[in-house]
Amino acid sequence: MEQKSALKKPDWIRVKAPVSKEYHETASLMRSLKLKTVCEEAACPNVGECWSKKHATFMILGDVCTRACAFCNVKTGRPDLLDPHEPERVAQGVAELGLSHVVITSVDRDDLDDGGAHHFAEVITHIRKRSPSTTIELLTPDFLRKEGALEIVVAARPDVYNHNLETVPRLYPTVRPGARYFHSLRLLDRVKQLDPTIFTKSGIMVGLGETRTEVHQVMDDLRAANVDFMTIGQYLQPTPKHHDVIDFITPDQFNDYAKMGRGKGFLLVAASPLTRSSYHAGDDFTRLQAARLTQHPHITPSKVEISVANT
Residue 60: give the domain boundaries.
29-295
Could you give the CA distance from residue 166 to residue 164 in angstroms, rounded to a whole number? 5
Three-class SS state of 204: strand
Kindly state whether residue 173 falls inside one of the protein's structural domains: yes
Q: At what angle do helices 21-32 and 86-97 cross, to 10 degrees?
A: 160
Kindly state whether residue 8 falls inside one of the protein's structural domains: no
Is the pLDDT at 190 greater than 60? The verdict is yes
Q: What is the pTM of this model?
A: 0.89
- pLDDT tens for residues 160-169? 999 999 999 9
Kindly state whether residue 89 falls inside one of the protein's structural domains: yes
pLDDT score of 228: 97
Give the list of residues 6+ apart from residue 234 with CB closer than 8 angstroms, or none: 13, 205, 206, 207, 248, 249, 273, 274, 275
Kindly state whether residue 308 falls inside one of the protein's structural domains: no
Is the pLDDT at 2 greater than 60? The verdict is no
Residue 3 confidence class, pLDDT cut points 50, 70, 90: very low
- pLDDT tens for residues 94-153? 999 999 999 999 999 999 999 999 999 999 999 999 999 999 999 999 999 999 999 999
CB of 242 closer than 8 Å to CB of 71: yes
Residue 277 confidence class, pLDDT cut points 50, 70, 90: confident
Is the pLDDT at 1 greater than 50? The verdict is no
CATH of the domain at 43: 3.20.20.70
Kindly state whether residue 301 falls inside one of the protein's structural domains: no
Kindly state whether residue 111 falls inside one of the protein's structural domains: yes
Kindly state whether residue 211 falls inside one of the protein's structural domains: yes
What is the domain count for the chain? 1
